[in-house]
Structure 1
Amino acid sequence: MGMTVTHPNYITPEGFAKLRAEYDHLLGTERPRIVEIVSWAAGNGDRSENGDYLYGRKRMREIDGQLRRLSKKMKDAKVVDPRQQPDKGRVYFGATVTIADEDDNHRTVTIVGNDEADASAGRIGWGSPIARALRGAAVGDLRRVTLPAGEREYEVMEIAYPT
């Protein structure tokens, strides 16, 4: 068993608020509703054939699993506000970066926590290959990224942080 290095699980304040809201909703709204269904269904005779009861029990396990996962994510999360980044001339957590490939195709990505990444919205996780390659880069720097499709070289065109 090799040593596992656990990197801090960075997350933006907004990302953390989303986890918190999801946790609160499950605990405060979703779970009590299911508890109600389960106890109502339990009072309705034969549990082995009771769809509501069986569904409720299954849903409870899902909710409890989700609550555990969210709770762990929040415990491990290190909230970093990109607005507080002292060196805004380089790519760090929370930066929005415009990069250009060899064919001068421009792409803009925002580097966020792995738990809040959404590639279709241009939000890429801190641990992703592109984010790793861009860390610490300044405008004009060239960075090589190994992607499934092969190796690409990107030039950093622009770096912005939320204000």
Structure 2
Amino acid sequence: MERIPMTQEGADAMRKELAIMKGEKRHHIIAAIEEALAHGDLSENAEYHAAKEEQGMNEARIKLMEDKLARAQIIDPKTIESDKIVFGATVKLLDLDTDKEITYKIVGEDEAKIENGTISITSPIARALIGKEEGDMATVRAPGGDRELEIVEIIYQ
């Protein structure tokens, strides 16, 4: 069974979303199905079919999230002592093309949100950074062309 790395914050957020999906979202979908059933003929009842489809997608997402949580390997970045970039690192970078400093935290796939400064361990940027040290250069292969990044600082917090 393959372990799925995630931070404690990511696992907590997933558990919270799972509780909502199993609770209020399920109840909302059931109410929508019951209301659609009250309209009669199911063969031409678009509301019923839409509610059943939403129910199927919700249940599939619940199963997926339960599986990921069961296989989760919770990693606390505060306990990591390394000079190299690994999962959980917050990395300050200098984009040599734009001369701008950017900061990313490397997290699990399901908790990554670029607008929050978190990137997935499987992203091209993270893959280019893993194993590097402060002062190293990383080349990120991007659709718009290669980007050169200098690693300014590595923080485990």
TM-score, scaled to structure 2: 0.84
What corresponds to 1:101 in structure 2? 95
What corresponds to 1:26 in structure 2? 21
Give the SS at the match of 1:156. Answer: strand
1:36 matches 2:31? yes
Query: Take 1:133 and 1:59, find their aligned partners in 2: how far apart are those partners?
Result: 38
For 2:123, which of 123, 128, 133 is the aligned residue? 128
What corresponds to 1:59 in structure 2? 54
1:151 matches 2:152? no
Instruction: State the 1:159 CA deviation.
Output: 1.4
What corresponds to 1:141 in structure 2? 136
Higher deviation after alignment, 50-59 or 151-160: 50-59
Aligned-residue Cα RMSD (Å) equals: 2.2
Query: Take 1:45 and 1:144, find their aligned partners in 2: how far apart are those partners?
Result: 61
Instruction: State the 1:43 CA deviation.
Output: 4.6
What corresponds to 2:6 in structure 1? 11
Structure 1: tracts of 5 or more residues without a match: 1-5
TM-score, scaled to structure 1: 0.82
Structure 2: tracts of 5 or more residues without a match: none
Instruction: State the 1:73 CA deviation.
Output: 2.3
Query: Take 1:41 and 1:106, find their aligned partners in 2: how far apart are those partners?
Result: 54
Give the SS at the match of 1:48. Answer: coil
Please tell me whether the aligned partners of residues 2 and 71 of structure 2 are also in contact (alpha carbons under 8 angstroms): no
Give the SS at the match of 2:147. Answer: strand
Instruction: State the 1:151 CA deviation.
Output: 2.5
Query: Take 2:126 and 2:2, find their aligned partners in 1: how far apart are those partners?
Result: 14
Query: Take 2:59 and 2:3, find their aligned partners in 1: how far apart are those partners?
Result: 25
Calculate percent identity across the aligned residue pairs: 35
Query: Take 2:85 and 2:60, find their aligned partners in 1: how far apart are those partners?
Result: 35
Query: Take 1:159 and 1:143, find their aligned partners in 2: how far apart are those partners?
Result: 14
1:118 matches 2:110? no
Aligned residues: 156
Alpha-carbon deviations, 1:76-125, whole Å to 9, x = none?
332211112122x3321111111113343221111111111112222111
